[in-house]
Each structure stands twice: as C-alpha cells, then as structure tokens.
Structure 1
Amino acid sequence: MNSNHASKRERFVPVPLTTAYNRTIAELKPEDCSDAVIAGKRFLLTGPQELWGVPFELGPDGADNVILLKDREVELAFAQPLHDRQLLFLHAADFKESDTAPDGIVSPMMGSPRLGETVCEYVLHYADGTRCAFPMRRRYQISEFQVKWGENSFEAVKHVKPRTMATNTDLLHKEAPTIPWGQSQLRTTFPGFGSAMHHWLYALPNPHPDKELIRLTMIPADGTSFVFGITRTDAETNPFRWEARRSVRYVSAPGFVPQPFGDRANIRIDLGEVIAVRPVLEYDHASWLDNANPRLPSPKPDEWIVEYTAHPDAHLTIDGQPGLTIPLRELEEHTAWTLTENVLRKVKVRITEGTSGRRIAAKIHVHGKLGDYIAPVNGHRFPNAHWFEDYGAEYVQDFHYSAYIDGEAEYKLPLGDVYIEVTKGFEIRPVRKRFLVTEQTDAIAIELDHVLPWRQKGWVTADTHVHFLSPQTALLEGDAEGVNVVNLLTSQWGEMFSNLGDFDGKTTIGSKENGGSGEYLVRVGTENRQHILGHISLLGYEGSMILPLCTGGPDESGLGDPLEATITEWAKRCREQNGIVVMPHLPNPRAEGAAALVLGEVDAVEMCSFENVGINPYSLSDWYRYLNCGYKAPAVGGTDKMSQSTAVGTIRTYSLIRGEPFTYDAWMNAVRRGHTFATLGPLLDLRVGDCEMGQSMQLPSSGGTLDIDWQVSSVTVPVTQIELVVNGELREMKAVDPEIGHYAGHWSVSVKESGWIALRVRGKYHDQSEMIAAHSSAVSVVVDGKPCFRAEDAVTILEQIEGSTAYIKSLATKSDEQTFKRLLMTLTSAHRALHNRMHQNGVMHQHAAPDRHDHRHHDHEHGSSTHRHDGHHGHNGGSHGHHH
C-alpha cells in the first residue's frame, strides 16, 4: 500500500540562493558579526536539512554559504515567477545587548532579545511593479541564536521541533538513556531542545499569490542578521502551526509494533509528531458493565491507537511496511486506518454519596469505545507505575488506569459512548456504567451506595505503610479509597531520603483541629531499617524524629555507615514517644524483629501483599510462630506502597473503635487492643465466647467447649471459603457461593490446651488462583493459667535472635565500642527472656559455654552442657534439642 499523491517536493520546494550568498560560515570575521556567533559557528546549519518536516537547501552542494545582512541590501531574483502562498525562511539575528546602568537597571526595558526592534526587512516584488514590505522584528518573525528562558518568539519557531520521548524507565529496548530521569518524565522535548545555536523558522505569507512574484530584496535595518535558506510552499496555512492532538486506530501487519521514540522510531509524521502508540484494549463491555469484579482489559493483537499532532498537509510514514507513506488527509481511504471522534466536549463528572447527596472523593476510570484511557483535564494521560515515580494521584493496574479525584473533575470527552468506573474502598458497591455524551452534555452525575455497615459499627480502616506521596496526595488517595488512616513513612534509601520535611512529630493531617473533616487522616511516621536485622515501622510518635532512619550500610543506609541501632531500640523509643510499633511486611528482613517482639515492644505485625494476590502463606507461617508461643501480635494490613501500581489500602487494617470519637490516638489504641483484621476486600467479624479479636480468655485445667460466631461480607473480592484456624491449623471450613456476598456461621470447638483462634477468608478473581483475602487477629485461650508455648517455634525465634547477635559480632560495621556493647546488650536481654520461658516450659537444649547454668545435672560433651527440665515433652511426644 503506497500513496505518492503529494510528495514533499510538490508540497515544499527549496529556493536556490546561489546568486544571493555573500559569505561562507567558515570565513565569518569579527567585522561581520559578534564574537558569540563566531565562537558558535560550528553549530550553524549547512547542506540539505529537513526542519519541522520542511526541506531546505543551505548552500549549493552542501557548501556552508549564508546571506549576511549587515550594511547593504541583498537581492534575489527568482528563475521563474512564483505563485506560492508562503515563503518559509530559516534565519536568525545576531546578538544585540541593551545598555545597562551601573546599578544593573535597564531602561527602557525591551528584554533580551530586544522586543519589537526591526532587524531587517523583506520586500516582495511583483511583475506588475507592485511591492509588499515585511519588517522582521526581534521576538516576532526573527530572533537571536540564543534567547533567555521565557523570551521566545511570537511568530517564529526554533529549528528543532518538539519530539516525543520515552521516560528512562519506559525505554522499550533498554538502551542507555540520553536524557536525565527528571527531564524524561515530561515525555516530550521542547522546541529547540539540544540545539546550541537556534535558527528560526518563519512562514511569510504571500499576500498576492495570483500575481507573478519575481524578486525578493532583503534589507538590513537595526543590527545584523543571517538568512540560511528559503523554501516555497502552496500550503494554505502555516506549516509550523500544528493542530490539536487527535487519534487514529491502526491495524498493523501481524507482529509489527509501532514505536514512536527516538532513533528507533518506525512511525513518524513529517509536519507534526506522533505523541504515543497504545494498544486497543478489549474490555468486553457486555460483562464489564455493572460487574463488581470484571476482568482487566487485554490488548487486541495488532490493533493500535496512534495519537498525533500535525499540520493538515502532513504525511505519516510507517517503516517495515514497504513504501507506506500516507497524507493525513487520505487516512480514511486506507482500510488499516480509522479516524476516531475528534470533537471533544467539556464535561464535569461529579460523584456523590447516595444517601446524603454530598460530594465524596473516589477513584475513577474513564475510557472510550476503543478502551483508550481518558484522564481528567488535570491528570496524567500516561500514568507512571515505576518505583519512586509516584508523583501523581493515579493508580495503574496493567493497562487499566484510574485517577483519584475529590468528587468532581473536568473531562474532555468524545461524543458517543464513554465508560466510567468509580470505586471507593471495600464497603461501597463499585459502579461501572456506560454514558452517552452528546453536544448538550455538560455534566455526568454518579451516585455511590455504602452497602456494608462496618464503618457505622465503629470500624475504621488504615494503611500502616505508605511511601513517596505528599501528605495532601495521601489524604486525597486515602479518602478516595475509603482508608481512614494513612501512615506515610519517612525513610532512607542509600543516600536518598523520602518525605523528610513532612515529618514534624505532632501533626495529624485531616484532623478537625487541623482544619480537616476528621474522617480521613494522614500521619507521618518513620520506617527505620537495617538490611540484615530488619525493618520496623514507627507510627504516630511525638517529638523528635527517631534516628538514624537507617543504619549499617547498603542497601538501606549509605555505604560506610556503621551500625548504630537495633530494631528493638527503635521500637522502644517509639513507644516512649507515645507511638505504636508495627513489624512491617512480615516476615522479611527476618532477624532481630523477633527480639523486639519477645521483649513486648511490638504492637502489631503487618500483612503485605506486594503483588496484590492475597496474604502470603509464608507470612502467615512466620506470624503463627509468635502466636504459638503466646505472644500478643495483632494483625494489621499495610501496602508498602512505593508506586502507582499499588493503591493505598489495597490491603488494609480494620480496627474497632467503640465508645470514643474517632481520632488518630483512638485508632492507635484500637491497634494496641488488637481488635483488628487485615483484608484485601472481605470484611469480617469474629467472636469466641464472650471475647472479641485481640482479647484473651481464661479456661480451667479441664478446658472447655467454645462457641464461635462469625460473619463475612464482600462487595469486591468474591469469597470462596471461610476457615477457622486454631493454633495455626485448619479446624473448621465452609465453602461458600461467591455470588452471595454475605455469610454468617457458628462453630463449636473443644479446647483442652492453651492456644489461639482466628478466622481466615479465601477468595478468587475469575480464572486467577484462590488467595487468602482476609485474616482476623487472634483470640487467645489460656488453659489453667499457662500461656500457649510451642517448643519448636520458640527455637526458631531464638535462632533469629542468636543470628542477629552473630551478625553484630562478625560482619556489622562497628561504631564505637560503647555502641557495640549496647547493641549486644539489647539482644542479650531478649535472648534471656525467651530462654527463660523455654526453661519454664521444660525445653531440652544445649548451651554454648558462655550460657552455661549452675545446674546440678551436667553432661559435659564437647565443651557444652546438656540438660533437660521435666514437665515438657517435645512436639509429637519427643524431646527437642536446641544447639548453640
């Protein structure tokens, strides 16, 4: 398929300037122009050039000739009379400075370049003897080789056109980036980008194309200027004035991937620029509409949305498909191309709560008939999902993009059908609807229904672990996701710090005392980290920042940083400063956090779901060990959000606040009590006898039978199975119909030994694997006054403390001797606390020489002492050895 309807040579014809040239660039002298031009003459253009898609011949046969306009006029007679509508000039003015007073003031202030000053004049002469003169004024039709920022021209453009570029992290072929990361986030260069000496393109309109144009005279006026080339065209409008962006659907040859970026571009427009190429998305609207859990869209093979901005006379070229160059005016004649709706209507989208009618924040997605994402006017059209590049208020889920809005947003929508999705947390039914946009559509109203009453019952939601957002963006995203408390954590990443200036140790953003509604809160805490010993989240503490934020070198703190703190010390300081301590993204880094928990300095353990595919059984395995040893460790949910591919509260904490107003302090108290559950969607409640989650009940030595009552509801994740976990093992299970969404039940459980009970909920999206979608905190059961203690789990916890001690002694970069001893002392106290519990529970083990006890029965063997305390039998009835 090929079209040569109008070649470039027919659209644009360079005008020979051989008879008018009066200098060569190489021979420019100080008497010709400024020192700055001579110093930069290697950057001046010569030879054949294509600028903004327009061909120019600068000098015959590639010579470096130029027309200098300084002290005499230059005449150019045309070989044949011209009737073209426009003459396109490539020219530039030499520098001219304004006089400056000794105090630095310029008067009169004309700017730099000197605005409006006539540099030269171009005069068109016609065969009938008439003439038309056009002054070339600085910052209008011509400008200088270099200009101050913000003093560009009004009618001329720099010779380098703006270009589409990929962000460094989006580079398709992993080539080395040529543009710094921050600059590449713009996704577009600016006119003149990369040029050291700007040449200016100006389209001079021929006022009488019906007459025979026979001659051009170029007359210097005030200052020196250069004319490099002239091209004539019969285009009706300015070739350097592109039209507003539009899109076209393209069906490519099988396997061909259009690529608009840089040197590897295989799709281009001469008088314009391809902005982006995106796959056409299949949303399967028949099943998507009004569906609480639709499948994510999939790209259609070999179908693309090509977005561009261009002059109407532009040509589009596709490489790899022989000879495919098409005038944009003829796109519709080609079967592979379909123009999309170009008329856009400004529409206000407003989201309200169904019962009260008040405006509420939410997450919104809008797409057109081809699945093309439509962003709000003030939103990113290409949301960025990469790490530490989360500077918008968007959510990226594969090809499915959403924006966070405060309840109202302005859109430019195409006429016809548009598809809108609105979601807000786990208690509100998602909306997915089709709307018809007409020339009369000014507004679209969407109501949300709060169908699950957990908030009304006193439950509040929280994300315990968020990074890289500004506090106000975190507040918006928390509100839009139905997350009442967002904990935004300052931390360190090598030599980089995040949210440092946002921490003040006192302010709860969004609280009533700080001008907010009090319903959605953001508090800045810290995540203090060490790559071997572990991470610890310090939430809501008051006063000075707990330092160091990270310690002991990469990959958390800087290279060469000595180890100056332990997880346990950080946790203790947080609680002394009235905060709560969360062991984050259980279980890793898996080491000294065990000491902090054993010493009672941890308020909760955090379930994470990095891939948004449920709570990892590996994490639960780690948590169950602590519960099996009688430690109170409530479950919370936190995302560790570091990019837009994770939404605030994707996994979240539900905590019950009763009998007091909701505040950040009340939330912390609820977490301390342990009346919590972690969830990716299903909501639950659990009661064991008279006890709620996080509580402990006492039973006599004979044990007893416990009544278990539970309820589960979900309007997001389809629930498949509800499980009762006792001491880490599945005791009861009920499979349920995912379509129902609301479930309740009762079990009776016989208990003879101390232990714990929790509820675990499984769910499943479509053809994905079943996942653990929610988990309650545990109810502890203490029989005969003896807390739960499982020997083999205690041994693994003790091993972590011993491993942490070994690291400090052997590999950790030492600070001073006093600090070194202090760090070891912390771990020694944790070791001793757990070790003593093991003795109390009769665990047989072995001691290294420094840990020997004064005990009357010692069997000395290889420098160690072995002993056994009566009253305990190891797991499965056998004794259990612990080796130092």
Structure 2
Amino acid sequence: MQPNSTNGDPRFVPVSLQSAYNRSISGLQPGDCSDTVLANKDKLLTGRQQLWGVPFSLGLPDGASNVIVLKDREVELDFPHSLHDRQLLFVHAADFKESDASPDGIISPMMGNPRLGETVCEYVLHYSDGSAVAFPIRRRYQISEFQVKWGENSFESFKHVKPRTMATNTDLLHKEAPTIPWGQSQLRTTFPGFGSVMHHWLYALQNPHPDKELVRLVMQPCDGTAFIFGITRTNLATNPFRWDARRKARFVSAPGFVPQPFGESANIGIDLGEVISVTPALEYDHTGWLNNPNPRLPSPKPNEWIVEYTAHPDALIRIHNESTATIPLRELPARPEWSLSENALRKVTVRITERAGGRKVAAKIHVHGAFGDYIAPVNGHRIPNAHWFEDYGAEYVQDFHYSAYIDGEAEYKLPLGDVYIEVTKGFELKPVRKRFTIAAETNLIAIELDRVLDWRQKGWVTADTHVHFLSPQTALLEGDAEGVNVVNLLTSQWGEMFSNLGDFDGKTTIGSKENGGSGEYLVRVGTENRQHVLGHISLIGYEGKMIVPLCTGGPDESGLGDPLEATVTEWAKQCREQNGIVVMPHLPNPRAEGAAALVLGEIDAVEMCSFENIGINPYSLSDWYRYLNCGYKAPAVGGTDKMSQQTAVGTIRTYSLIRNEPFTYESWMDSVRRGHTFATLGPLLDFRVGDCEMGSLMQLPASGGTLDVVWQVSSVTVPVTKIELVVDGLLRESVAVDPEVGHYAGHWSVPVKDSCWIALRIRGKYHDQSEMIAAHSSAVTVIVDGKSCFNATDAVTILEQIEGSTAYIKTLATKADEQTYKRLLLTLTSAQRALHNRMHRHGVMHHHSAPDRHEHHDHDHDHRHGSGHKHGHGHSHNLDHKHD
C-alpha cells in the first residue's frame, strides 16, 4: 500500500496510535517515569507536529495528550491496512538511567551517560506470512534520553528540532530582537535540538521486506523505559532525516521579491532540508573582467539570486510571495526560473608563486563560479562577516565581492567547468584575473605573479600604521598577502571592552628573523590611546610597559564614569621616551589636543586614512597643511584604521625609504622619523626637490632660488589622472595624464623667494567613480634666510584647538584628583605658550583678559589691532604675516 495524501503530503502518512496509547501525558505518575520527566511533562510533544519536515500526529485526534509508555509490558499496534512502506519514522525517547559509581566517583563499566549501546526496547515487525523481524532499540543509536550530556549524541537518530539557518545578531532586521547570544550568532546556523529542553528522537526504521504485507508492530520493553509519541510511514527510498551535501541554484524571482530564509520573516524554505543562504547573483562582465588590472566591481543582477541549500532529494521548496508555490526539488532542473550548479566537485590545490625566483607567496585570492557565486577555500568562510569587530577570518569584503588571504597555497572544492580566479598582492605586482576550466583530472592550478614595479628594490618599505581586531598571526598573513611589510596592530579600549590586550608585550616583533620569521613581513603590537574629545594617538613600537590608561575620560572610548587622567601630549611624550614613534591617527578628527602634542614636537607623523576607500579626504589635507604652513615637521603616513573585513590591511599605506641599512622594525621607525615617506592607495611615486628626498629640510640664502622638482609616478592598481605640485597648500603645477599608460615622469622649475613647503599630490579615478586623491608625498620644507614657515591665520586655528582642549578640561571633563587635574592643564599651557610666543615673534598681537594673562607679557600695553581675530576669552590676534 502506498502512502496516501490525507494530510496533504503524499510522501508521508501519520499512523494512528489510538489503540496503543497507554498513558496520558498530563496524568503521568511517579511510578510511570523519572522525576525529571514528571517535572517537564508540559514540554513533551503533542498534537500535529512538523519535525524535520515530516508530519506526525502525536496524541488522539480529539487533542488529548497521549503517549505509549513502554516499561513493564509489551504494546501491540495492529495496522488496519496491510502496509508495504519502505520506512517507519518514530518519534520516541528513553527515560533516564544512571550508572552506579564507586565511592571515589569512578564508573565501571564506563558506558557513558546515556549508557551507550544498552537496549531499551525492541520493535518487532510482523508480516502476513507469519514471519517477523526484531530491531533492538539501543541508547545513543536508535533512541536516546530526553536530555543528554554535551558530546554524547546519537548515531542513528536525530533530536526533533532540526538545524536552521540564522542571521548574525548584526544582520537581524531591526524589528527582530536577538534570541541568542551575539557570539553564537556568528555560527549562522543552529545545531540539532537547539532550544529544546526535552529532546524527542527521530528514527527511521528501514522495512527489510517492503514486498511483504506488514500487519503488526509489537513494542517490547527490555532495559529501561521508552516513550513512543508518534509514527509516520513513508515510501521514500532513503532516510528523510539524512540530507545531501549542500548545493547552489540560481533563482530568478518575480520582480520585487527578495528571498529571505531567516526567522519570522522567512519567505523561502525547504521542508526536508534547509536554505543555508540567499545572496544576489552577481554580474562580473567577464569580457571586461578577465586580464583587466582595474575591472569594475560586480553588480547584483535584478531579481536573480544564488540559493544555497542542503536537503533530502525528495524535499519540497516553498516560496511565499503573493501566493505560495511548492516545488519538488527533483523538478528544479526543468523549471525555467531555476538553474542548478554543477554538483560534481573536484578537490584542487591553488598555488601562487612569484615568477622571478618561483617562490610561493602569500596573496589575496577570489574565486567564483559560473553564476558569479563566491567559492571559498576549504578552510575559509563561505559568507565572510564584514561587520565591526566581527572579522575573525582572513578575508576581505568589497561590497559583494569576497576574497580570502592565503599563504601561497590553498585547497578548494571546485565545480567542473569554468571558474574565475583573481589574485592580487599589493601595489607592485600585477593583478591576475583568469578563467580556468576544471576537468575530472584537474589537481592543481598554478598562478604566477609578475613584479612590475621595483620600489621595494629601491629601498622603499610599506606599512600600515593603524590596524585593529586581528590576531598577530592573521595580521602577519594579511600583511604578507597585501604586500605590507610592517603591520602595526594597535591594542585599545572600547568602553568596557579591550582589543588585543594579551598580544602586547612591549618587545616582540612578529615575523622578524630573531623570532623565526623571514624578516620581510613584520607585525608589532602597539597601542592607540584615546579620549573622545581631546583626541586619539597611535603609540607605535615602544618598549617596556603598556602606556595606560589606554583610554580615559568616559565614553565613547573608555568606561562610563572614568575620570580624565592623561592628555594626548603626555601619552605621546611617554611613547617617545620608551623609544617608540608617535602618529596622529586618522587626521584630522578628533580635532583637539593633538595640536598641542604637535606644537611641542611630540608627533613623528600624521596619518592619512581613507574611510570607505574613496581616496585621501581633502578635509584631512586641509588640516595637515595648516601645520606645514606654520613650519611644524609632520611627515605623511598611511593607515587604514582597519576594524572589519570591509577594509584590507594596507588599503592606504605608508611607503618609507630605507637606504644603506638592513630592513628591520627599528630601521623602519627611523625612516618615519626622518620623514622620507608618502601615503598612497596605489600610485607609487619618487619625488625630489633638488637633492632632497621628500620629508627633508632644505636651506636657501636670503635671495632664495629656483628649485628643480623631479618626479616619477607609476601605478598598476589605481588609474592615475593628474599629477600635482602643491606649494604652501596651493596648487602650483598640474599635469593631466593618460590613465592607461601607468608610468609617468616629469620635472618643474619652481622659483622660491620665501620659506615654503613643497609636495607632490596624485589624483586617480576608477571607471565612472569620482576622481580621488590617491597619493600624497611628505613635504620638502624650504627655509629661506633661516626663517621658518609661518601662516598667521593657520596659527590662530591651531591655537584655538589648544585653548578649546583647555576649556574642556576646565569645564566638562570628569575630574580625577586635584594633582592630576593641574598636571593636565600644565601640559596644555606649555603648548599654548609655545605657540603664543611664535605668534608674537611673527607680529600676531593680542589682548589678554585677566584670567589668561601670562607673566612673560607686558600687561601695560594693549596690542589690539583692527584686523585682529577676536577670541571669546579676550584675545585679539593680528593677522600680519612676518618672518622669524
């Protein structure tokens, strides 16, 4: 007899157990079962249930909660019609049974808990010809207890709650509250039995003789008590609780329909299986993508989706749109809106080498299939997590385009047919984008990278001055793969959370030769010390004890209620005393007390960031130019402030020049101190003013002179559009170039009469995106007649920052003890006076109100001028520009 469709599903027919029930769940007594079951009887299953997609009828049709308790006598169930079904599907569970232990707690024989292999009962199938077959139902095989210890799962039966796809807490729609802890949500999937207190076990008993008429089931107790809640019969050929390996399909939906497999808002699902993920199908435009050093990023195709799933071959896919459509999985290949991916997968090793020398090299790799679907390495995230502080893998997420970092070799499971592979490594090696055809005999894909720029051979070393949330070893891998020689991994505080705290030791350079590395790629753990108003400061490469507090003064950096205990300037000074270098990060914000540290000479470099990877922000440059205009040495470095997989290590990076000495972390710090640096998102440059490297100081006599500016620019990543000469923050020269060429050189003659600074600025452009500032050199400072650069207007703005920081400490900052409070103010007062003195020497005159008078001024003179800039505290600054 075949299953009928009385329940609406011809694959399954629940069996009525009305004649066999011998207990009411609500009426269970102490003699029937254990105290634990009695205490949780309200959690036992009743009524109509859909378990792992299989319908069951548990209890009588009138709704009474009945169950078979198999304890001291056998129970028979006669089938009203002779059956020929291939399988009987049971919902059952065993009551608890403890093993005796000796006084010292040792159990012998050790069978575990539940007691492995112990026969709880037997199910005996009787056929019309008088034959019978008995099936022992053993703990941890066909049945298990309502509650089990972690790690003591069953071998032939599943807990009744199937695993399901879930969104991470960060991915949840705003209307849905998280139901599980944040960390656990990173799994993106639950496990069998998740959320249930009392586990009911699903077991598929295979009928050995479906050709015979099955007339009776006899259930016999053996050792312990069993509960039988329900039975469903099916003629499926294979176990419905055993799903096939995951597979992908492309689905073309109705316009406007967005498949959603998660939670209460789910509108796509599989009964005998689970939808793992739904992502947009991507258009890579392979005609323009292959062999292109700068292809467009892929774009989602309208109404096309990649549905990844795992399921029994007889499963049904249900789509809830304006109407509900139910599609047998077996019919998908015949449906025009569905296309199945290649099911046969081939294990393939992908190996990356550098052509010169043939050595294996770390790199960033992307692989996608015929649908544009991302294919991860076997040991990589198939769905990388791009959220803040959630990037635990070594991946990079660029919109919908995913990549993985590998050490030069990775294992993949690739579909037969065409796959597309992209490999990149930094700014000096040419990117590779190729198509490969995977055949049944393919074992290895070998990819060679060509170094087409030689800045490293010229002595230039790359660095990212600002990285968070990676382990040191992952930082080392990503730095190597991105061609970043130095990764500065910065410990910090985030409210009540700390990052990389245990990774800091104040001495170890990971990757150095003395620590067993190659010495070519290094990681050093420093700190970013932060205060939400006064500013942030990156303390890099210092030795000895950690400079604390890491953050101070309350949220959003330190904990609520923390008093203000340090200034940016104090942190910077301590770092330099401990042989480190100090970088003013993500210029300019927070725009405040960092100005004091720079005025006092405690800053080694200022950092250009590029949030959202859209180039160096002109707002940042505007802030930096002020300091250069006032004669302060402030070399440019590049740092990403990486805090998620949406930013690659070294997306914007520092190039610094090391000549005539080996590359070590210490020599890199020295190169930054010298200022021979440039910051870049791709274009590489060489820039000299006369015989001076970028970042140098040049002296000219009072007569000035004409300077020869020579430059060279190359790029294999960002297409270059303009090369600009900047003098004192103003554009002096500009040349437009053909982005397709990639290599450029030129020179300008620049007459100089007064002290100034000179730098090279590079603009670039991706396709139809806006033009961006893609690189900037440090400045060559030119001193004429011994007089430093000074711009009165910019000096006033710098002074305002220092005075504003002082005002914050006096009025709003949470005070520590009185001694600390006075010490903080003293630091700012010294910076204010240093700048004030320079302003006086340059003729920027001002009037002091009584509270802000300084002993070194003559208070009998009123220095107000009509062209002055009036301050709220009583100062008025004349803006006449005079030289030292």
Fold similarity call, TM over 0.5: yes
The residue type equivalent to 1:389 in the other structure is E
**How many angstroms does 1:330 deviate by?**
1.2
User: Could you say what secondary structure the match of 2:556 adopts?
Assistant: coil
Per-residue deviation, residues 293-347 of structure 1 (Å, max 9, x unmatched):
0000011111111111111111111111534111111112221112211110000
Structure 1: segments with no counterpart, 5+ residues: 878-884
Asked if 2 retains the 8 angstrom alpha-carbon contact of 1:531 and 1:554, the reply is yes
Q: 1:623 to 1:133 in 2, by over 3 A?
A: same
Q: CA–CA distance in 2 between the matches of 1:547 and 1:856?
A: 41
Q: What does residue 881 of structure 1 align with?
A: none
Q: What does residue 92 of structure 2 align with?
A: 91
Q: 1:132 to 1:856 in 2, by over 3 A?
A: closer
Asked if 2 retains the 8 angstrom alpha-carbon contact of 1:568 and 1:601, the reply is yes
User: Could you say what secondary structure the match of 1:140 adopts?
Assistant: coil
Q: 1:859 aligns with which of 858, 862, 866?
A: 862
User: Could you say what secondary structure the match of 1:631 adopts?
Assistant: coil
Per-residue deviation, residues 361-393 of structure 1 (Å, max 9, x unmatched):
000000001100000000000001100001100
The residue type equivalent to 1:775 in the other structure is H
Q: Please list, as runs of the form range in 1=range in 2, the aligned pairs for 1:74-85 lying within 5 A after superposition.
A: 74-85=75-86
Asked if 2 retains the 8 angstrom alpha-carbon contact of 1:859 and 1:866, the reply is no
The residue type equivalent to 1:94 in the other structure is D
Q: Please list, as runs of the form range in 1=range in 2, the aligned pairs for 1:714-729 lying within 5 A after superposition.
A: 714-729=715-730
Which TM-score applies when normalising by structure 1? 0.97
Q: CA–CA distance in 1 between the matches of 2:459 and 2:589?
A: 32
Q: CA–CA distance in 2 between the matches of 1:24 and 1:216?
A: 21
Q: CA–CA distance in 2 between the matches of 1:461 and 1:60?
A: 74
Q: CA–CA distance in 1 between the matches of 2:637 and 2:582?
A: 11
Q: What does residue 27 of structure 1 align with?
A: 27
Q: Once structures 1 and 2 are overlaid, which stretch shifts more, 519-528 or 313-322?
A: 313-322
Q: 1:873 aligns with which of 857, 869, 880?
A: 880
Asked if 1 retains the 8 angstrom alpha-carbon contact of 2:71 and 2:221, the reply is yes
Q: CA–CA distance in 1 between the matches of 2:863 and 2:340?
A: 88
Residue 36 of structure 1 pairs with residue 43 of structure 2: no
Q: CA–CA distance in 2 between the matches of 1:723 and 1:846?
A: 41
Residue 291 of structure 1 pairs with residue 292 of structure 2: yes
Asked if 2 retains the 8 angstrom alpha-carbon contact of 1:270 and 1:316, the reply is yes
Q: Please list, as runs of the form range in 1=range in 2, the aligned pairs for 1:598-677 lying within 5 A after superposition.
A: 598-677=599-678
Q: 1:111 to 1:608 in 2, by over 3 A?
A: same
The residue type equivalent to 2:431 in the other structure is P
Q: What does residue 537 of structure 1 align with?
A: 538
Q: What does residue 258 of structure 1 align with?
A: 259
**How many angstroms does 1:711 deviate by?**
0.4
Q: What does residue 551 of structure 2 align with?
A: 550
Residue 684 of structure 1 pairs with residue 692 of structure 2: no
**How many angstroms does 1:9 deviate by?**
3.1
Q: CA–CA distance in 2 between the matches of 1:603 and 1:49?
A: 68
Q: CA–CA distance in 1 between the matches of 2:873 and 2:430?
A: 64
Q: What does residue 17 of structure 1 align with?
A: 17
Asked if 2 retains the 8 angstrom alpha-carbon contact of 1:844 and 1:867, the reply is yes
Asked if 1 retains the 8 angstrom alpha-carbon contact of 2:421 and 2:433, the reply is yes
Alignment RMSD (CA, Å): 1.7
Q: What does residue 401 of structure 1 align with?
A: 402
User: Could you say what secondary structure the match of 2:264 adopts?
Assistant: helix
User: Could you say what secondary structure the match of 1:611 adopts?
Assistant: helix
Asked if 2 retains the 8 angstrom alpha-carbon contact of 1:120 and 1:218, the reply is yes
Q: What does residue 867 of structure 2 align with?
A: none
For these two proteins, the number of residue pairs brought into alignment is 871
Q: Please list, as runs of the form range in 1=range in 2, the aligned pairs for 1:432-471 lying within 5 A after superposition.
A: 432-471=433-472
Q: CA–CA distance in 2 between the matches of 1:280 and 1:325?
A: 22
Q: What does residue 105 of structure 2 align with?
A: 104
User: Could you say what secondary structure the match of 1:413 adopts?
Assistant: strand
**How many angstroms does 1:867 deviate by?**
9.0
The residue type equivalent to 1:739 in the other structure is E
Asked if 2 retains the 8 angstrom alpha-carbon contact of 1:858 and 1:866, the reply is no
The residue type equivalent to 1:314 in the other structure is A
Asked if 2 retains the 8 angstrom alpha-carbon contact of 1:91 and 1:228, the reply is yes
Per-residue deviation, residues 657-686 of structure 1 (Å, max 9, x unmatched):
001100000000000000000000000011
Q: 1:866 to 1:284 in 2, by over 3 A?
A: closer
Q: What does residue 331 of structure 1 align with?
A: 332
User: Could you say what secondary structure the match of 2:847 adopts?
Assistant: strand
Asked if 2 retains the 8 angstrom alpha-carbon contact of 1:422 and 1:430, the reply is yes
Q: CA–CA distance in 1 between the matches of 2:399 and 2:272?
A: 33
**How many angstroms does 1:442 deviate by?**
0.4
Q: Once structures 1 and 2 are overlaid, which stretch shifts more, 6-15 or 517-526?
A: 6-15
The residue type equivalent to 2:603 in the other structure is V
Q: What does residue 195 of structure 2 align with?
A: 194
Per-residue deviation, residues 754-775 of structure 1 (Å, max 9, x unmatched):
0100000000000000000000
Q: Please list, as runs of the form range in 1=range in 2, the aligned pairs for 1:257-276 lying within 5 A after superposition.
A: 257-276=258-277
**How many angstroms does 1:866 deviate by?**
8.0
Q: 1:604 to 1:598 in 2, by over 3 A?
A: same
Q: What does residue 780 of structure 1 align with?
A: 781
Query: What is the identity percentage for the equivalent residue pairs of Structure 1 and Structure 2?
Result: 81
Q: CA–CA distance in 2 between the matches of 1:399 and 1:382?
A: 10
Residue 49 of structure 1 pairs with residue 56 of structure 2: no
**How many angstroms does 1:174 deviate by?**
4.5
Asked if 2 retains the 8 angstrom alpha-carbon contact of 1:387 and 1:643, the reply is yes
Asked if 1 retains the 8 angstrom alpha-carbon contact of 2:796 and 2:877, the reply is no
**How many angstroms does 1:855 deviate by?**
2.9
Per-residue deviation, residues 501-526 of structure 1 (Å, max 9, x unmatched):
00000000000000000000000000
Asked if 2 retains the 8 angstrom alpha-carbon contact of 1:858 and 1:867, the reply is no
Per-residue deviation, residues 685-738 of structure 1 (Å, max 9, x unmatched):
111011111111111111110000000000000000000000000000000000
Q: 1:69 to 1:740 in 2, by over 3 A?
A: same
Asked if 1 retains the 8 angstrom alpha-carbon contact of 2:537 and 2:584, the reply is yes
Asked if 1 retains the 8 angstrom alpha-carbon contact of 2:790 and 2:881, the reply is no
Q: What does residue 792 of structure 2 align with?
A: 791
Q: CA–CA distance in 1 between the matches of 2:560 and 2:693?
A: 47
Q: CA–CA distance in 1 between the matches of 2:485 and 2:877?
A: 51
Q: CA–CA distance in 2 between the matches of 1:625 and 1:173?
A: 43
Q: CA–CA distance in 2 between the matches of 1:525 and 1:398?
A: 30
Q: CA–CA distance in 2 between the matches of 1:172 and 1:349?
A: 38
Asked if 1 retains the 8 angstrom alpha-carbon contact of 2:847 and 2:862, the reply is no
Q: CA–CA distance in 1 between the matches of 2:392 and 2:488?
A: 17
Q: CA–CA distance in 1 between the matches of 2:765 and 2:657?
A: 26
Q: CA–CA distance in 1 between the matches of 2:873 and 2:86?
A: 101
Asked if 2 retains the 8 angstrom alpha-carbon contact of 1:858 and 1:865, the reply is no
Asked if 2 retains the 8 angstrom alpha-carbon contact of 1:846 and 1:864, the reply is no
Per-residue deviation, residues 556-578 of structure 1 (Å, max 9, x unmatched):
00000000000000000000000
**How many angstroms does 1:177 deviate by?**
1.3
Asked if 2 retains the 8 angstrom alpha-carbon contact of 1:122 and 1:133, the reply is yes
Q: CA–CA distance in 2 between the matches of 1:173 and 1:317?
A: 25
**How many angstroms does 1:265 deviate by?**
0.9
Asked if 2 retains the 8 angstrom alpha-carbon contact of 1:857 and 1:867, the reply is no
Q: Please list, as runs of the form range in 1=range in 2, the aligned pairs for 1:162-311 lying within 5 A after superposition.
A: 162-172=163-173, 174-311=175-312
Per-residue deviation, residues 402-435 of structure 1 (Å, max 9, x unmatched):
0000000000000010000000000000000000
User: Could you say what secondary structure the match of 1:859 adopts?
Assistant: coil
**How many angstroms does 1:859 deviate by?**
3.1
Q: Once structures 1 and 2 are overlaid, which stretch shifts more, 328-337 or 111-120?
A: 328-337
Asked if 1 retains the 8 angstrom alpha-carbon contact of 2:472 and 2:489, the reply is yes
Q: What does residue 64 of structure 2 align with?
A: 63
Q: 1:578 to 1:682 in 2, by over 3 A?
A: same
Per-residue deviation, residues 151-210 of structure 1 (Å, max 9, x unmatched):
010000000000011111112454211121111110100000000000000000111111
**How many angstroms does 1:549 deviate by?**
0.1
Per-residue deviation, residues 575-595 of structure 1 (Å, max 9, x unmatched):
000000000000000000000
Q: CA–CA distance in 2 between the matches of 1:333 and 1:594?
A: 68
Q: CA–CA distance in 2 between the matches of 1:817 and 1:460?
A: 46
User: Could you say what secondary structure the match of 2:469 adopts?
Assistant: coil
Q: CA–CA distance in 2 between the matches of 1:335 and 1:592?
A: 64
Q: CA–CA distance in 1 between the matches of 2:674 and 2:254?
A: 62
Q: 1:300 to 1:856 in 2, by over 3 A?
A: closer
Q: Please list, as runs of the form range in 1=range in 2, the aligned pairs for 1:576-595 lying within 5 A after superposition.
A: 576-595=577-596
The residue type equivalent to 2:535 in the other structure is G
